[in-house]
Structure 1
């Protein structure tokens, strides 16, 4: 939810606009209220698009298709004027969560919730197809979970069943990973294509992962063409059979939407009604209730609000005659960039983040007021959190940067450039003042016990142990040329280990070689809790830190980001599945889809990691049960990249985000205690020491930040 921008209208037709819900290439979706105070969603086509025949025709099709469809599980059209300048469409506002948001934030739905979801979506498709329309873009983002049940939205590319193709032959239109094979090929699509999309959507709801994987759109389309769907995580025979039937390569062999309803059978007479939210897991139902209450109360005009007299679309401008949309409005007073939450896609008219903005806007217009109600769970904070304080800044690198801390000393691994030459360099900084205690030319560093730091020096030909505070060299080990440490150093009790094709352990007391293992660490090396963890493209191996003997091997397809704690080892595979492995014997305890491993933290019985689209997850480390989740930021251009990195310190989880901000979260419930913002922050793991938290900035500097007074 964002405030209106300069260039946005105050009104469209008889409807007053309150703020932006989102935007796409074709237009902008606004939150508005009707004359009776009912919250509604208004989609306005961009003036630059409205004049183009193909966009005008597409919007007219959307209006016509949406008007033809009337069903319990679709979003009704309330008003529209496709001939206005610019054209606009009004639909009922659906406060709640999209299916993608719900699964990404709260985890996959249990089978007893997927069944009613399938029934609601199948009935919606049956209504759509009865009207002679094909939706062509059913996906988790176009399914809303509301207080009135699931709803199918966004008819932006819907077409009549007998329509000819609107794109060039062979050019697909839709969402990769959810398009039927015939749709991917750019062929004419019918209702069976929507049933295929239904199957893919149900698979996502049940597993938390897209059935045709992640990666480039071309890869997902290729898997869809060959119907190589990953349904291994679906153990219920009825559900796997239903989804498999919907995903059949031959459109003629897929069930119809009515056929899906027949396969599901009659609803449970004793179960909760689908025309509500009690059929969903309690955490999702509570979040829907909270957002519904916000939408119903916070869009009402405040007492004493003047009558609607703002200029409407198409009227003469009041100022800035060169603006592309007439009747412009500046952002509401009292709303700053930090208090406005990120909007959602133009086609998804949700109430996510609505409460904070509308509460603050109403409070400012009334001249005060109480705080909004706190929602249970882990959504965005109510009101702006306090700001952290900058203590000191020290530039230590011309390029990349990595941080570690021990014994009041901050270790910053960076790069110094001299023309085309680059040299790895390690700075040891006083954590309290930022003073440079010493520095060494090297590549990697690892902090050990007893105030000792281990370094690679002389282009990896030497490994040295130095005192962390003074830089005094305690011993140096000459590395054989064929064993140069091309990866990390890791300290594990009485040994420090290095290697790639094989692993060597040095005695921390004198630097002598203790053991060598043939285990491969080509994908990563780490150590903790008496284990050395060697990661290769084929497996994760746990080695005894004292002897180098392999305790166990766990097969893992191109794993990364292993971390150990609470008697567990956590690692992700290339498909984005987190594997929780028992450290004692390498047995799988649990796993979860769509969880990032890099930058995660474990401690106090909890595992903290990034979920889908940058959601911060707190999971019970020994069971995988979700304790809370919170959305802080997203990567809009590439949602599958890592958006967050963590550091656990006592009861605080420090999160550095792609938006350049540092967030201090309460580990109990994910509440934001305070934030610190800088446009130059980069996503390296923050470090905490001496009551401060340290972050890396894009200019190669280290910043020390303290909590607010």
Structure 2
């Protein structure tokens, strides 16, 4: 984001303006914020063209009949507009991304599978435009935004034209630019590779895909997130809250990040893999950002890393652990799941760490729960009930009509009557008595990694909203728009529901109505996806952020009571993805680096830290005198909860 010029507006419609994202001959694109704190992109027609009625009509034409579900056309999500204002403006949702021009200039041509998906992603909005006898008219690499959820066609409206003849040639040129040359286009695009003129858009080969999960090379995804981090960090420093809110809660100053090209080299802790799943894109991004953080701190690969600390016991799974540790005292085991190359569910002896049993799956939950003594877990598109002592199957749902078969992952929470399965863009409630689907709720965008249950309701992130659903019927009771992807689910505690997002907003909502009770700015705006879920105890709400801060917030007032920084290097990894666990007066949390931490709940002071072999993103479990956690080094650890060591 560039600084706003002296003659740029401070506000456009309901949005505060922070700075410029880009310009074109007809319009200026700004980054701003809504009154509710959502980051937005505001395109404003240049004053020199403000009286151009044809331009206003083109803008209006690009807005009319635009699908509310932007994912159907892969256009940026439309928020508000006023084409009758002077000058006219249109606001869309902010999405982290790089333009195709930036991505190719920094990282080189895209691989063939990504080019094929790019073609599909651009054909969707072009087919929509051409079906309305309109065209884009300015299709070029700088007008294509690459996001982790697919490409977005930019500048629709100000570039809109009525002739469709130029778009096919422009699209071929864009795809050739992405591939590194026309001759390098993938075989599926052979029809446009040969011949002097490509076919009209409606006759192009077109097979719509269901998902763009993991479609970009992970260095491009990481660079997109870092670019968004820069913009949002600068925006927050410029626009941080209203004067009244400033007097109520003192902001913490965020460190400015300087972007520079990052060399992409393999991390010894990350297994090599030809394709990276979406759930692992940000895990792999952590390795890339770790290189940058180490370089900024003067650390080289020749520098000796501190050795792992000594645990009560350690079990090596050989693969990364990124999810939940679950203790089942009745069975004497702790449950853990690996999820990188070898998806496998493990049951380890609580006292010794010896493996009791394991089960392999192509797709596997890394969040699961116990109901009536059975372990509820999703494996390969089905909900399973397992005996936690032996791993044997008690029952499993059929896959017909269940609706999670194609999800890469599906995580489970439950109450006494229903299991709630979260995966892809869907929440499914399964009646535990009949093992049939009770209801399902689909979201045009993604859903949070998990859901939580609170007082007869299901709390879940349906990007961009935190949503409360009736647990019996799935009816939406309320929703609160945070304006961003939600990696973590809301958490109910008493009469409040707590939710944070990756740009640094922590919000306490009335659990019955969704009305805002507290709104706190933490140190967000980083490169991660904000998967740390709030934990609440003794009047303090605790959460980790993508900028490596753990915050303790007073639940009664929303005042920040303490914060603790887990990493001395700003660019190490993608921040804290571990959710805090509170046991008595101690908070246990993975640092987002190689350390697992114990903090004092009242003050945030460090009690102890335990060094592992790689990033700790898992959510711990506490039982007896031990705390159990996992790391990206493939190990499950058990340490003394008071000392953080073997005894």
Question: Normalising to structure 2: TM-score of the pair?
Answer: 0.47
Larger of the two Rg values belongs to structure: 1
TM-score (norm 1): 0.44
